[in-house]
Structures are given as C-alpha cells and as structure tokens.
Amino acid sequence: MLRIVARFTVRACCIYLSFASSIALATDDTAWDGGLAAYANGEYSTALIAFQSALAAGQSGPAVYYNIGVCQFQIEAYSDAAATFAHISMQYPKMRALAEYNRGLVAVEQDRFQSARQYFLTTYELSAGDQTLRILASTMLRRIESNTDQSSTWTVALSANAGYDDNIVLRDDIGLPLGVSPESSLVDVFASVRGPITGIAGLYFNANAYLISYLDNDDFDQGQFKIGFSYDWTQRNWHARIGINAGFSTIGGDSFDASRNLDAKLTRVLSATSSLRLRYRIADISAADAIYAGIDGSRQIYEIAYQWNQAPRRFDVAYAFENNDRADPGVSATRNRLRLRYRYSLNPAWTIDLGGELRISRYTDLALERTEDLVALKVGLNRFFESDWQLLAQYQHFTNSATDDAFSYDRNQLSIGLLKIF
C-alpha cells in the first residue's frame, strides 16, 4: 500500500517537472529539452543524464535539482534522490515543504518509516498555504501509522555516549572524604525494543536497558532494566497508552532495587501544531539488600505537558508533582518540577536544543525539615543523517541549593554520542 501511494504521489513531482521547464535558464536548452522529452517517454535514466548535463553546463536554481531528484527516484537511486532533495530543502527555503515531502517518499521506499514520519510532519507544518500538499502529507502519515500498527516490524533504538562529569557524588567537594574524587570520565549505553503482540491489536511488548560506567570510580556505576507491556488506543484527536512493567537497578555492580510500575498517558491533539498530555505514574519499590532498606515504598508522579511544534521551532513545557512514601524520611521527598524545552532546526540536518528545569524538593518528615532547589540547564546540538543515525552533543549544568549545606552542590556534564533507530 505504501509503495503504491508513493508511486502515485510522485506524479505530483511530474507536474512540477513540467512547470520547471518554463523557468529553465537558457544556458543549455538542448540538454534541458532533451531531459523533458526523455522523461515524458519514461526514459528516466536518459532524462537524468540530460538534466545533470544542464547543471554541469551552468544552469542553476531549484528546478534543475528538483528534476534530477525526480529522475533519481524513478530509477530507484534512492540514496542519491535523498541527497538531492535534502540539498533543495537546505538551499531553497521556498521549496522546503515539497522537498521534505519527497524526502519522505524516499524514506518510505527505504523502509525508514521513523524518518519518513518526521519528513511528512514537517511538510504538513510548512504547507499551510498549499492544501493539496498538506492533504498528501496527511495521507502518508495515516498510512505510515496504519502500516506500523499492523505490521510485525519491531522498533529498536540504540545509543552510546562518552563524556565527563565533574560531580558524580552529588556533594560539595569540601565535604568529601580524603582520596574521594567527585570527577570522572564516563561511558553510557542505552537500548530499547518495542513491538506489537501478534493477534492483539494495540498491545505491545517493551523492554529497555541503560548502563553508565564511570571510568575513574566504578563504585558509582549504574544500571537500569525494565520489561513490560503497553496498550495503545487512538480515537480521532485522542491517544491513550497504559503500560505495566517490572524493573530492577544496580549500583556499583550490585543489585540496588526492584520495582513494579504503572504508566498511563492521555494525549489530546489540539491543532495541527499543538497538543496537551496528561500522565500518571506509580511505582512500588523494594530494596534488593537490607543496606538499602530505606528506599522501600512507593513513588507517584502526576504530569501535565503542552507541546507546540511548527517547523523550524518546537516548544515544550511541563509541570509534574511527585510524592515519595519511603521507609526512610531522608528519601521521602515531595517534589514540584517545571520543565521547559526549545528546539530549533537550523536546517534539515542540524538542530539545537535549549532546556531548563526547576525542581523543588521538600523532606517534611525529617526531624529537621530540609528543602532543596535544583536548577538544571541544558544545551544540545543534534546532527541527523539519512541513514537514521543521529549525532548528539550535550552540555548540562546543575545547581542544587539546600537548607542543609551538606546537600548543596554544582555539577557539570558534557557528552557526545550516536543514536540509531532501526
């Protein structure tokens, strides 16, 4: 189904191909006209050579590149077509919506549905004045979602990062024992898998693992592992997901805790550019060893989030309330969190992320009540590749101010790594 739609919608490219002939420069009319004639006869390889000759002869502008990209698509030179449409998107802003749409068609042919979805979303956002293109993008988005829901294809994400953390102990270094350094280089890896359960529409299996190793102090190495199921439901502008999972974590290579978790989300699409999400999470937590018995208990989080997304900008704001009921009052915090995130696409390949969070924690069950105010700031730079690889570079700064000076600290983290979605 997707392939047929892709072939059909490429005829929209052909319409533009004919239009492009009227704005061709006179640098090489013979090559240009020959390309148009060859394309009309279905001789796409010949047409491609002709348009490339026109380009080499000095013809410029989006028309020649666009016609080259269409021909590359028709002869199934998808990697070349992807590069051509990416060039148009970056160099000719007025053509970006149509170029992103065709990048989506190419990605569909390459079975890169995650990327295709993003390209069609961008097309939809950029094509407010072109209802035909917006309808085409919307149709492709629905078909991708339908294909994903009904297929047996599983989604796998893998990432690996290397970096540096100047305060892994979360303490002011003045109060550290002799010989203990708060600084360390680090390596972390993340893997997740999600896929549909055959025969039960909307039911999915989920699993993920996260490991971080501090190369200069392995006592602080951490690991988190979860496995579970979720059920998805969509109706018009509403989307709901409820999931259950079991997990455990390690610290310094030893077992730390085990948890049973429930996660429920309800999203309402408000418009083509905005959505509202409500989320509730509850975890029942048990210590893996008597030495950590103070963490026994539960954690509940209530969250409301708003997202506005209109290319090239995206803005997210979220508020969360967290309540911990643990055996040790020293870890039974009540927290209020406010998060802001702004993403700007410099071009189709590069994006910059700016983020901030304010977290206010109160430990009211202690004999001497403690309050902590954490401010976190983040700057990130992402590079997207046609192969669905992403290069991620990130810097974060944390300042924690506490009424008990022993819990006040500053922290800086720097990391760079790769992410791949299969």
Question: In terms of domains, do 66 and 134 share one?
Answer: yes
Question: In terms of domains, do 400 and 277 share one?
Answer: yes
Name the domain boundary from 93, 116, 150. 150
Name the domain boundary from 121, 150, 179. 150
Question: In terms of domains, do 282 and 217 share one?
Answer: yes
By CB neighbour count within 10 A (0-12 exposed, 13-18 middle, 19+ buried), where does 290 fall? exposed
Question: In terms of domains, do 211 and 255 share one?
Answer: yes
CA torsion sign for 12, 13, 14, 17 is positive
Helices (H), 194-310: none
**pLDDT at residue number 30:** 77
DSSP string, 178-198: TT--S-EEEEEEEEEEEEEPT
Domain count, the chain: 2
State both tokens at 83. Answer: 């590069």
Residue 363 neighbours by CB under 8 Å, 6+ apart: 329, 330, 332, 333, 369, 370, 371, 372
Tell how strand 203-214 and strand 155-165 pair up: unpaired
Residue 316 neighbours by CB under 8 Å, 6+ apart: 305, 306, 307, 308, 339, 340, 341, 342
Dist CA 417 CA 380 (whole Å): 11
Question: In terms of domains, do 118 and 234 share one?
Answer: no
**pLDDT at residue number 150:** 41
Question: In terms of domains, do 70 and 180 share one?
Answer: no
Question: In terms of domains, do 386 and 284 share one?
Answer: yes
Domain harbouring 90, CATH code: 1.25.40.10
Q: What is the pLDDT along the chain (422 residues), one digit of tens a residue?
A: 222 223 333 333 433 333 344 444 444 467 888 888 888 888 888 888 888 888 888 877 888 888 899 999 989 888 889 889 988 888 888 888 889 899 989 988 887 877 888 888 888 888 877 777 888 887 788 777 655 444 457 888 999 999 999 999 886 655 555 556 789 999 999 999 998 998 888 899 999 999 999 999 899 999 999 999 999 988 877 889 999 999 999 999 999 999 999 999 999 988 767 889 999 999 999 999 889 999 999 999 999 999 987 767 889 999 999 999 999 999 999 999 999 999 988 876 788 999 999 999 999 999 899 999 999 999 999 988 766 788 999 999 999 999 999 899 999 999 999 998 77
Question: In terms of domains, do 81 and 221 share one?
Answer: no
Among residues 78, 71, 80, 16, which one has the least CA distance to residue 45?
71
Question: In terms of domains, do 115 and 172 share one?
Answer: no
Question: In terms of domains, do 134 and 51 share one?
Answer: yes
Name the domain boundary from 92, 127, 150. 150
Domain harbouring 300, CATH code: 2.40.160.40
**pLDDT at residue number 211:** 96
pLDDT in tens, 297-317: 999 999 999 998 776 788 999
Question: In terms of domains, do 81 and 107 share one?
Answer: yes
C-alpha gyration radius of the chain: 26
Domain range for residue 37?
Answer: 2-150
**pLDDT at residue number 22:** 40
Dist CA 86 CA 98 (whole Å): 11
Question: In terms of domains, do 345 and 387 share one?
Answer: yes
**pLDDT at residue number 329:** 94
